[in-house]
Structure 1
Amino acid sequence: MKWKKDPFPNGFDVDLTPFREFMNRVDHVFQGSFKQMSSMFDLKPFWVDVEEKKDVFVITAYLEKIKQEQIHLEIIGHNLNIIVNTKTNHEVYNEEENMFEQKTNTHQMSRVVRLPFPIPRSKTKARLKAEQLVITIPKPTSEKITIEEDG
């Protein structure tokens, strides 16, 4: 069977130019809208490294320009949730028009780290130094079981 190059039957002559122009305009509107909104939503995540050592897990979160009071840690069972809240204020006063404009943006980022054991809240330590949040979680100690010989 031989395929035709033209998918339309004879006599079916449609100019799709208006449709293509309409689609290009819709694309342009959405691209412009998202560019304007991108400054409101700074969606850069923070990086987290998890390192397993002999007796502890060391979790390092890289937090640029974040202060200690903006960080919240939650422990729920096996999960450690690192939450960062940021708030920026922008104020402008126009003396000519006697107008005051104030904008406040809030943003929350979070990462969840799951470990293979319940995280002990009282033994978990965290410190913020040089834009790095370092969380140390001790591994649980294991107990050896002796196997008795039957006989």
Structure 2
Amino acid sequence: MHKDHTSLSKRDQATAHFLASIDQFFQSAFEQFTNMAFEEAIPIQTSEESGYFVVEAQLGNVMKEQIDLEVAPQALIIRVRDEHEFTTLDDQTEAISYQRQSHSRERIVNVPFPFSEEDVRAQFEAPQLTVFISGRRKTIFIT
């Protein structure tokens, strides 16, 4: 015998709502995982010009505050963070659900020489991030 939703007791309704919210949580998490697994890497182009190693990254529709640059041994790490918060009110059950999504993409760019933070200069004009790394390579004099 099947009960329709209106004839359920308050406890049964609460249990059904709880189970539905758990199901929604796992469906949402699975969708996020699937989207992240097939997402493209950050497209970059590198060149060397006038004593600089230049990295041009196409970041899409992001704001400067979402971008992190990190110096690693002979590598530059470009990271883009994206965070969203959602609040939903179910008029039928009067339940409020809060969702927060946090997502990050990153690209590691190998640099052909050692460098430090002081050697890096960056500028961002959406959608392109341009990073200049000073190539202060020293030629060794041989006697």
Q: TM-score range by the shorter chain?
A: 0.5 to 0.7
Q: What are structure 1's unaligned runs of at least 5 residues?
A: 1-32
Q: Runs (4+) of structure 1 moved beyond 4 Å?
A: none
Q: Distance in 1 between matches of 2:40 and 2:86?
A: 20
Deviation at 1:40, TM superposition (A): 6.2
Map of 2:59 onto structure 1: 63
Amino acid at match of 1:41: N
Map of 2:101 onto structure 1: 105
Structure-to-structure mapping, 1:19-58, within 5 angstroms: 37=31, 41-42=35-36, 43-58=39-54
Whichever of the two has the greater Rg, that structure is 1
Q: 1:144 to 1:44 in 2, by over 3 A?
A: closer
Which has the larger helix fraction?
2
Amino acid at match of 1:71: I
Deviation at 1:120, TM superposition (A): 2.6
The count of residues paired between Structure 1 and Structure 2 equals 113
Q: What are structure 2's unaligned runs of at least 5 residues?
A: 1-26
Instruction: Say yes or no: does 1:133 pair with 2:135.
Output: no
Q: 1:135 to 1:85 in 2, by over 3 A?
A: same
Percent of aligned pairs with the same amino acid: 21
Deviation at 1:128, TM superposition (A): 1.1
CA RMSD of aligned residues (A): 2.2
Task: Using structure 1 for the length normalisation, give the TM-score.
Answer: 0.65
Deviation at 1:132, TM superposition (A): 0.8
